[in-house]
A and B are shown apart, each in its own frame.
Chain A
Amino acid sequence: MNAIPDLPGFPDPVPDSQAAFRAILWAQSHPGAIVTPAPALIVPAPLPVAAGALLLTLADADTTLWLAPGFAPARDWLRFHTGAPEAPLSRADFVLAEQLPALETLGTGSDDSPHDGASLILPVAALGEGTRCRLSGPGIDGTGDFAATLPPGFAAFWAANHALFPRGVDVFLCAGSRLAALPRSVTLEVL
């Protein structure tokens, strides 16, 4: 049994989740672009608002979730509003991490079903500043500049992840209510 949380989900679920979906789709199809999927959403601390919006929009009873211990205060809220059951790290569809996990601990799909690779939601202090990177790949005309306060070891993590393509994980970096996506198809070079 899970407790009933104090907070509601999206204030106006249908249009809010559609708008958030549209924003997340934009972020994924324009790697490195910064979007704000749900500016008005109130989420339980310490969950980043963007991470809450993403999970309300994409997670449901058919997807599984792994929560880092630090996000335990958001567990009931996520469970109640998404219906997503929890799963061990290696089998979770959505991984809400505090620190960068080792790539081998995540589900990266199979060559038959690369879409089974996990979506890794990683809170960062800031987007648009911090480590400067150059991105290239599908969705980017030539190359694109990108900056975020990336965790230590991210460049090596990303190189290994990209090398697995079409397998691998997709990353969502969340800073407060803002979010940027790094699909596994993208190459990232730290400047």
Chain B
Amino acid sequence: MLARADAARIAAALPPPGKRPHARRLRGPETGLLMLRGRMGGTGAPFNLGETTVTRCTLRLDDGLVGHATILGRDADHAELAAFADALLQHPDFAAPLAETLIAPLAAAQAEARAAIAARAAATRVAFFTLQTMRG
């Protein structure tokens, strides 16, 4: 869910600096390639389709919690913020409020976006019975 959000949205929901644990970068944020694979016939053995850019980040909070994120694309801030949010979501003091201020709204927004696309798709479904009724 964090991977599909954008950097600004995550940043806005995080506690302000000074009121959150300090984090140290363990790896990244760094951009690289990920090979995407399809399946022959959609269900068979895998084959290489092509690569995508990804950016990943792993960081460790001072109390030892580790946050990790990998996102599609090259937005280093997004990857780092998502990794930080991932760490806070495991933290007893921050998990519950962050679930409320970040994860719940993200889930709602993403579900809404999916539903909006599904509704457009549903409107393009062919209703053959109309034709049959007209003929009959």
Number of residues on chain B facing chain A (CB within 8 A) = 9
Q: How far is the CA of A186 from the CA of B53 in the complex (A)?
A: 41
- Asked whether B30 lies within 8 Å of A13 as measured between CB atoms, the reply is yes
- Asked whether A4 lies within 8 Å of B30 as measured between CB atoms, the reply is no
- Asked whether A5 lies within 8 Å of B26 as measured between CB atoms, the reply is yes
Q: What secondary structure prevails in chain A residues at the interface with B?
A: loop
- Asked whether B26 lies within 8 Å of A8 as measured between CB atoms, the reply is yes
- Asked whether A8 lies within 8 Å of B25 as measured between CB atoms, the reply is yes
Question: Which of B24, B25, B26 interacts with A4 by CB under 8 Å?
Answer: B26
Is the CB of A80 closer than 8 A to any CB of chain B? yes
Is the CB of A162 closer than 8 A to any CB of chain B? no
Inter-chain contact count A-B, CB under 8 Å?
18
Is the CB of B69 closer than 8 A to any CB of chain A? no
Chain B residues with CB below 8 A from A109, complex form: none
Closest to A4 in B: B66
- Asked whether A8 lies within 8 Å of B30 as measured between CB atoms, the reply is no
Chain B residues with CB below 8 A from A7, complex form: 26
Chain A residues with CB below 8 A from B70, complex form: none
Chain B residues with CB below 8 A from A9, complex form: 27
A1-44 interface code vs B (CB 8 A; 1 in, 0 out) = 00011111100010000000000000000000000000000000
Chain B residues with CB below 8 A from A8, complex form: 24-27
Is the CB of A81 closer than 8 A to any CB of chain B? yes
Chain A residues with CB below 8 A from B55, complex form: none
B52-64 interface code vs A (CB 8 A; 1 in, 0 out) = 0000001010000
**A124 shortest CB reach to chain B, Å:** 30
Chain A residues with CB below 8 A from B66, complex form: 4
Q: How far is the CA of A165 from the CA of B60 in the complex (A)?
A: 47
Chain A residues with CB below 8 A from B27, complex form: 8-9, 80-81
Q: How far is the CA of A79 from the CA of B66 in the complex (A)?
A: 17
- Taking CB atoms and an 8 Å cut-off, the chain B residues in 62-90 that contact chain A are 66, 68
Closest to A60 in B: B32
**B79 shortest CB reach to chain A, Å:** 14
A78-92 interface code vs B (CB 8 A; 1 in, 0 out) = 001100000000000
Chain A residues with CB below 8 A from B60, complex form: 4, 6
Chain B residues with CB below 8 A from A13, complex form: 30
Q: How far is the CA of A13 from the CA of B31 in the complex (A)?
A: 12
Chain B residues with CB below 8 A from A6, complex form: 60
Closest to A6 in B: B60
Q: How far is the CA of A81 from the CA of B25 in the complex (A)?
A: 12
Q: How far is the CA of A7 from the CA of B24 in the complex (A)?
A: 10
Best-buried of A6, A8, A9 by chain B (most CB within 10 Å): A8
Q: Please, could you name 9 A-B residue pairs with CB atoms under 8 Å apart, sorted by A?
A: A4-B58, A5-B26, A7-B26, A8-B24, A8-B25, A8-B26, A8-B27, A13-B30, A81-B27
Interface residues of B, Cβ cutoff 8 Å to A: 24-27, 30, 58, 60, 66, 68
9 closest Cβ pairs, A-B complex:
A8-B26, A4-B66, A8-B25, A81-B27, A9-B27, A80-B27, A13-B30, A4-B58, A8-B27
